[in-house]
Structure 1
Amino acid sequence: MSRIPQGELRRGWTTGACATAAVKAALDALWGDGFPKEVGIVLPKGETPVFALAHQAAGPGWAEVGITKDAGDDPDVTHGALIIARVEASRRGVQFHAGDGVGQVTKPGLPIVVGEPAINPVPRQMMIRAVEEQAARYGCASDIHITISVPGGQALALKTWNPRLGIEGGISILGTTGVVRPFSCAAWIASIHRGIDVARADGLAHVAGCTGATSETAVQSLYGLPDHAMLDMGDFFGGMAKYLKRNPVERLTVGGGIAKLTKLAQGAVDLHSARSQVDFERLAVDLGEDRVKQANTVLDALDLVGPPLAEWVATRAYDRVVKAVGRQVAADVVVVDRAGTILAQAGA
């Protein structure tokens, strides 16, 4: 179990920021007097990080630089990865290529078209701007091939949502601001949104958001859903539901353990234990079971009350889901225990 650092959390830099710095430094070597000791860039919101070079190489007509990704205190799977940019002359503008460890898009619905390297729009814009600025500085044409590589990126990608999103062969080069804000959860919620986009683009009528691996396995088996129909909702029901309300599908299943879905039933939209708690006094009143007030956990309450608790959770959670996503989405809720056994269902 990962530990949240104490005190003020240190922010980090996205893969897109690292790739941009690597491009800028590589162009110094290709067009200028050699590799700099360090390289500074300006991010979209004005921050000016400076990066040390972790790798450098050059040959006839090309140069490459690697920057080590520092995610600060965020538990980012790409923390410590080496982001390498190779630059070489092109005949028409700036062109992007996926090197070893960077994925390619194979499914529609993402902000990058099928067949392109998984380098998101803002990092592309940042790198293009770096090329244009360096070209103006050195009096060169801004026609450059950029190849981004991440050694070990294919293995890292297995710890991300990329395989489900149809990004094959490695990680994505990401970032909208260039800054990683520790425990902001923005990347997780963005991945849920991209999962919805991919499902819609593929014409899927039914998607599922689950709180964890056990409930996901149960729901996927129950309905025979493909992998890319499974949204990695985790604790972020609110982030998923808000996006689905604006970008609806025909049907949504919400699956989860009884503890987290009890919080949803009581109105929470962020189901993390640090941000929402079960109100046992209120639960006792709603169930008409005064002894529930003495429970320390929902599992204690389940032992006391039995199936009626699971049925109440399913029904009330279903009501919350419908309210959150709107009537244009047919919804249902599946409550499971720790072994993955279905305890109760409600809805379509």
Structure 2
Amino acid sequence: MDGGRQLLRPLDDNTRETDMLGDTAIEGRAYKRIATEEAFCPPELLERYRRLLADNAVDDIGFNGMWGFYANSSSDRCQFIRDHLTDVGDVRLSHMDEAGIDFAVLALTSPGVQVMTTADGTAFATYANDWLADAIARNPDRFDGLAACAPQDPVAAAKEIERGVTKLGLKGVIVNSHIQHEYLDDQKFWAVFEAAEALDVPIYLHPNSPSDGLIKPMLGRGLDGAIWGFSVETGLHVLRIIVAGVFDRFPKLQLVLGHVGESLPFTLYRLDYMHRASAASGRYEGMPALKRSISDYLRDNVHYTNSGVAWDPPIRFLQETMGVDRVMYAMDYPYQYSVEEVARLDAMTIEPAAKKAFFEDNARKLFKLAI
């Protein structure tokens, strides 16, 4: 959500011709393009954030800095993001059409309800899920979505996940990383995992601004957002989940990580080696012996999207190392929106079956999409 992400820009004649030629070349393509990390929020959420900021009600350096800017700035970028987070109608659909996106899986923008009080967060998650379900009902051939919850109250969160999936037809769960500086590896939150596994739906572990213990060294050089801090925060979170033994307790649980896996897949060897060495040393009380290696859990319990990374090499690397059936397309709208990226990924030099899996098959299967 930081300044490194691109705004929608007007297309000049030359750019439009390139884009149209790119689309025309694959007009008969054998796959739909499904985007799997696309943010939304009801307008009331932005107003709630503004009130929390005005009242100095949130003890969170990242939230106060990030949303203190994005909720109020008059810059073109901030206005674009606010306008298009709250639009799940004609404008968003026109942007999808322009980019060639056939279908979008929507999720409540970060940090969602996780900065609110327990009671307010629980109530607003219910409201947001109803709001999303109504938006999906208006365009069921273009949208589906993930259920928000307030892990501040894990039991209530589990109930809302069940309602969102069984009553509203939502296809998974969105959790925006840390919960007021706490992480889901704490067993008090495990009702959320239990509910997702029982319902056979994935949890999308989406970035949040780094918790107060991480963020301070990043702020001086603007590294706290999407450029680096988001991946550090979310990568840390999923490693905590793995090392705590969550997947040994919930072996069928599936997570989704964006941004080509928040960099974790690129260090598999070192993660495995050093985890084995550290666990064997007995140095850390909070590092129990696991049934499998870290890379095993990352291959068998985690799916990946390329959100924000329209670049062949890491996508091909993920398909090779994590499995063709575990890598999905995402745009990261509206924080990142570039028409050219879609045609670029259409032109990736990978096998047709792998490209179809990337753009359509994996998302359709994981989220059980009826399109």
Assess same fold via TM > 0.5. Answer: no
Q: Tell which has more relative contact order, 1 or 2 (C-alpha 8 A, sep 6+).
A: 2
More helix by share: 2
Larger radius of gyration: 1
